Structure 1
Amino acid sequence: MSDDLSPFEIKDRLIELARSKHESMMLNAGRGNPDFIATLPRYAFLKLYEFSLSEAERSFSHLHGGFGGRPDHSGVVNRFDQFVRANPEEQGVHFLQAAASYANSHLGIQAEVFLSELVEATLGCSYPSPPRMLPCAEAIVREFIIQEINKGNRSQSDFELFATEGGTAAMTYLFRSLFSNGLLNKGDTIALATPIFSPYLEIPELPEYQFNVVEIESSPDNDWQLTEEALHKLENPAIKLLCVVNPANPTSVCMNHLTLSALADLVEHKRPDLMILTDDVYGTFTEAFRSLFTVCPRNTVCVYSFSKYYGATGWRLGTICLNGDNVFDQKLKALPEEEKEVINRRYSSLTKEPEALGFIDRLVADSRDVALNHTAGLSTPQQVQMTLFALSSLLDKADTYKQSARQLIHDRFEMLYRSMGIKAPELAGNAEYYTVLDLYEIAFEVHGSPFEDWVRKLDDKPRLLYRLAEETGVVLLPGKGFEIEHPSARVSLANLTMYQYKLIGQSVKRFLDEFYQQYLDEDSA
């Protein structure tokens, strides 16, 4: 098997290998799809759908055959109150009532406006309008971002959102628009804060981009924080964009205060022109999280996906957040006139003043190749579910769901390491959604320094994951695919049971014990 495959291609090969020998006990910890979901906002969606259908049926009640129409919003508040009284014990109904109250008291959204948008959007009977995001949905998700990503910092609340088909669509749209608008050009230099989610490593290599990549490394010896030497690389004016996953995938460790402060200082005093893309999908899993979107708001575009925290990978719910005053718009204005003319023609079908079109609106247009801009936007039922997810956190003042999700993952994290016979690492700001098993470190912890030295000299270290899958049925992803240099494996703590993580830990321990016996045999020979 080639070691040049992406980690997800290797994962598929490992699954085939594990299944061929261990079909009944294959343990796949190689994918981060969570096995838990948020149920209350889903119950709310079902009850909202029921109410919305009753609203649609009023329009053509004289017809038969399941025929309905666009709802008439006049009187919707009274009818909703009647619906609540008729279903007082139904899960999700009280949630919807509380949601309408919250929208009015905290965001100044009148109940009629709020319910009218939700009802029509739930039915999916109209194109998203505006295409970027529905107004009430945007206001509520913005409040969620302020609470969970900005940690309540309202000094940076002047930002717009673009609802996307998950975080992966957000990544795709951003690179496409940066390229289409001359903010990045073929062969330009970008920086990646490594280790990093593997698509960020693969996108720059696409033929249409062919970016020159500079790695800004975090080190396990520095608690997975960026080193001073790595940060110094960002002073190079040739670097146009920095891509960050925070907390990182696969280490799950978020940037600490010192790292964030160093980056903010660098941007303010040395690189005010630097564009930053921060992917904060795992931020809700750690108490210590703080986003670059908060400390460098003018330079940073933020991507957040609802997929992991709410168990909603199949819903494809993501957002792009961009500050009102931002370096992206500034760079558009500073482009050479001849380049502006070419780009203006690209958007001339949308407006008579294409040069005045902001970067976030160009993102929306580019997502549908401009010509189909009128059909752009995330489907309205998806936007409703995203809004209900956001509201579930805004209404959960005791953080009951958050604590349950974190405790579940933490218990699995502890079980994995305990079953290997070693202590779980203690790192500030560790979301624990994934963990990186360092082969050298585990060898040292389990059998001491001489054994670690022997493992370091093995010729087949890159093949160990294949042997582990074949001999034990355990599937892990290689750290190398995320730009981790030392032999390692990423374990997802989100998708298996406590007992299964116990089996994985025991399998890894047994696997190393067999190597240790080989080491003893060679040493005594």
Structure 2
Amino acid sequence: MGNYNIQRREIEAIYGKVSPFELKNRLISLAEESKEAGIHSLLDAGRGNPNWISAAPREAFFTFGHFAVEESRRVWNDNDLAGMPKRDGIAARFLNFMRKNKSEPGMETLEKMINYGITIKGFDEDEWIYELTDGIIGDNYPQPGRILRHVESVVHDYLIQELCYNEPLERKFNLFAVEGATAGMCYIFDSLIANNMLSKGDKIAIMVPIFTPYLEIPHLPRYDFEVVELMANEVTGQYSYEELKKISDPGIKALFIVNPSNPPSIAMRPVIVKGLKEIVEKSNPDLMIISDDVYGTFVENFHSLMADLPYNTIGVYSFSKYFGVTGWRLGTIALYEDNVFDKLLGQQDEDKKERAKRRYAALSTESEKIPFIDRIVADSRQVALNHTAGLSTPQQVQMAFFALFALVDKRNRYKDLVNSICHRRKKLLFNGLGLELDENSFDASYYAQFDLLEWAEQNYGGEFADYLKDNYKPIDVLLKLAEESSIVLLGGSGFHGPKWSIRISLANLDDESYSQIGEIIHSILEEYVANWENTRE
């Protein structure tokens, strides 16, 4: 019990001072002790790792892997040793493999995906199937280092379908395959600094609430940016025009956004995007926008800033949430061919150009002409190891298979199924809380953000809300959930959301758990209400 109380005091002491994800680990430890002492099972709704996976493209991946190994053994077969796949005639051999193995898991899906490359994209059959075969074997460095050629083409189609409302733009995006969205963000930050496009002390804007690392990275000594926050409305999750106007200051060089937000998991409405676009084009045309769109697939007809402001926006996307693939580390950086980043590089003074020339001298005799997307690739390997840059080829093949799976799913069966899971769980959570859930077509429902103080004011008035603020702290609720019910949630303030809000991941627990979480939160609040009423007697 002594250790238990020490843990509790430590958690209270660090609340609001460390990342909510670091705090979560302490809460899990406390909840584990509670679980061992009682009858509760641990319910960790603090992290957004989904409890589903996309099975069909994985089945296709592993079945295709069998073909790739057969191809390797065809070239050189010496017990446990095999050779490297060969290109010539590989399409005909794959067709024969499909005929002989029609009953293998994922074969029907695999055939559709391969045919997409041949019939829709017009790829050379041998070139297309060889890239996938050699890629899944993983016997060569990625070439090009940015992303494999055919893989880029199909992933590009996927991003246009999911993030750009399936309307091709005038030009295409150049993609860099990376180890998830977090790696993509790190690479972008580093390259902006390395190329003197952002310098220590520069002013940047962040749309909040937002994923905590995007709040923490700008304040690291390496960056030390001046940060301007654009705060979303606590109820709607949308941004007022007054908040958007903050970026009209041309001194703000970059804008960071997660859209849909994390939390409260709401996509920006078209009218908000229109206002943002007008402000950028009229008042800050050289603004660099970095948009993380990982939750975009959870909103119907989602519009990324990549589509509406392609010139200004570098897009970051991760396959992790939608396909249940956090362990694979699959993501992309997407930069429009005509973009402000390259324009700003070209306008730099001679001193900055000379520094870039020295930095990238080993890559080209005209290193100052290297596009920003290729500089990101080089910087990801400290330039000197550019020849080894790139996401591993088996990862790229699996990424392509996920993209192809979504492209050939014309009825959106998978999308409808996954999105229904999140919305169903949110409804169960709110039922447990005793609240009606307002339907919102811009709600990704990947997370729920519940404001305890707002609930207090709406249900019992300002007097009770004042009592709550004067006698309790948000951490008290989180501790009570962990101690008494082995439930782990995060505070919304760590994401620069409302101080009294809590964040609940709707992705990683079974349905019935959300009813239970809602009921227990409601019972805690009613306990506080009873305490308040006793003070009034």
For this structure pair, what is the TM-score category when the shorter chain's length is used for normalisation?
over 0.9
Letter in 1 for 2:323: Y
Aligned mate of 1:33, from 10, 25, 49: 49
**Are 1:2 and 2:17 an aligned pair?**
no
1:90 is aligned to 104
What does residue 133 of structure 1 align with? 147
Distance 1:465 1:210 in 2: 31
Q: Deviations over 1:437-486 (max 9, x none)?
A: 11023334555665334324434334331232222221111101000133
Cα deviations across residues 34-78 of structure 1 (Å, max 9, x unaligned)? 0000000000011110000000001113xx222211112111111
C-alpha distance in 2 between matches for 1:463 and 1:60:
65
Q: For residue 213 of structure 1, what is the aligned residue in structure 2?
A: 227
| TM-score w.r.t. length of structure 2 | 0.95
2:441 maps to 1:428:
yes
Note the 1:351-370 alignment, pairs <5 A. Answer: 351-370=364-383
Aligned to 2:512: 499
- 2:366 partner amino acid: E
Tell me the residue number matched to 2:129: 115
User: CA contact under 8 A between 1:433 and 1:494: conserved in structure 2?
Assistant: yes
**Aligned-partner Cα distance in 2 for 1:334–1:452:** 54
SS in 1 for 2:189: helix
8 A contact 1:34–1:494 mirrored in 2: yes
Most deviating of 384-393 and 146-155 = 146-155
CA distance in structure 1 between the aligned counterparts of 2:142 and 2:346, rounded to whole angstroms: 29
Alignment-mate amino acid for residue 411 of structure 1 = R
Q: In the alignment, what sits opposite 1:331?
A: 344
SS of the residue 2:248 aligns to: coil
| Structure 1 letter corresponding to 2:232 | S
Residue 484 of structure 1 corresponds to 497
Per the alignment, do residues 477 and 157 of structure 1 end up closer, same or farther by CA in structure 2, a change over 3 Å counting?
farther
Report the residue type matching 1:317 in the other structure: L
In the alignment, is residue 158 of structure 1 matched against residue 201 of structure 2?
Answer: no
Counterpart selection for 1:267 from 235, 260, 280: 280
1:168 pairs with one of 171, 176, 182: 182
Q: Which moved further from structure 2: 438-447 or 47-56?
A: 438-447
Residues 299, 441 of structure 2: 8 Å contact kept: no
Q: What is aligned with 1:396? A: 409
Q: Give the match for residue 233 of structure 1.
A: 246
SS in 2 for 1:58: helix
SS of aligned partner of 1:144: helix
The alignment status of 1:49 with 2:62, answered yes or no, reads no
Q: Does 1:464 align with 2:477?
A: yes
Q: In structure 1, how many angstroms separate the alpha carbons of the residues matched to 2:463 and 2:35?
A: 33
The Cα of 1:127 is off from its aligned counterpart by 0.4
Query: Is structure 2 residue 298 aligned with structure 1 residue 291?
Result: no
- Is 1:143 the counterpart of 2:171 in the alignment? no
Specify the SS of the correspondent of 1:219: coil
Most deviating of 157-166 and 440-449: 440-449
Match of 1:191 in 2: 205
Percent identity, please: 44
Q: Can you list the C-alpha shifts for 1:355-399, whole angstroms capped at 9, x where unaligned?
A: 110000000000000000000000000000000000010000000
Relative distance call for 1:165 and 1:461 in structure 2 (3 A) is closer
C-alpha distance in structure 2 between counterparts of 1:288 and 1:436, whole Å: 23
- SS at the partner of 1:225? coil
Q: Which ranges of 4 or more aligned residues in structure 1 deviate by more than 4 Å?
A: 444-450
The count of residues paired between Structure 1 and Structure 2 equals 521
Structure 1 position 104, deviation (Å):
1.8
Contact 1:422 1:445 in 2 (8 A): no
In structure 2, distance between residues paired with 1:29 and 1:288: 27
The alignment partner of 1:505 has SS state of helix
- What amino acid does structure 1 have at the position aligned with 2:207? A
Aligned AA for 1:353?
A: E
User: Which residue, 394, 406, 409 being the options, matches 2:419?
Assistant: 406
2:74 is aligned to: 58
- Cα separation, 2, equivalents of 1:372 and 1:289: 38
RMSD: 1.3
SS in 2 for 1:301: strand
Aligned partners of 2:72 and 2:82 also within 8 Å: yes
Aligned 8 A contact 2:316 2:332 in 1: yes
Contact 2:429–2:515 (Cα < 8 Å) also in 1: yes
- Judge which range, 495-504 or 373-382, deviates more: 495-504
Is the CA contact (8 Å cut-off) linking 1:288 and 1:428 kept in structure 2? no
* Matched AA of 2:52: F
**Compared with structure 1, are the counterparts of its residues 360 and 314 closer, same or farther at alpha carbon in structure 2 (3 Å cutoff)?**
same
Tell me, yes or no, if the aligned pair for 2:171 and 2:338 is still in contact at 8 Å: no
Determine helix, strand or coil for the equivalent of 1:234: helix
Unaligned runs of 5+ in 2: 1-12
Question: Residue 67 in 1 paired to residue 111 in 2?
Answer: no
Cα pair distance change 1:325/1:177, threshold 3 Å: same
Cα offsets for 1:311-353 (capped at 9, x unmatched): 0000000000000000000000111101110111000001111
3-state SS in 1 of match to 2:81: coil
Contact 2:257 2:291 in 1 (8 A): yes
Deviation at 1:129, TM superposition (A): 0.2
Moved more, 353-362 or 462-471: 462-471
In the alignment, which of 312, 315, 332 is matched to residue 319 of structure 1?
332
Normalising to structure 1: TM-score of the pair? 0.97
1:98-125 CA distance string (max 9 Å, x none): 1121112221212211100000000000
**Structure-2 separation of matches of 1:330 and 1:232:** 24
Q: State which drifts further: 501-510 or 299-308.
A: 501-510
Contact conserved, 1:304 with 1:318, CA < 8 A, in 2? yes
2:171 touches 2:337 (CA, 8 Å); kept in 1? Answer: no
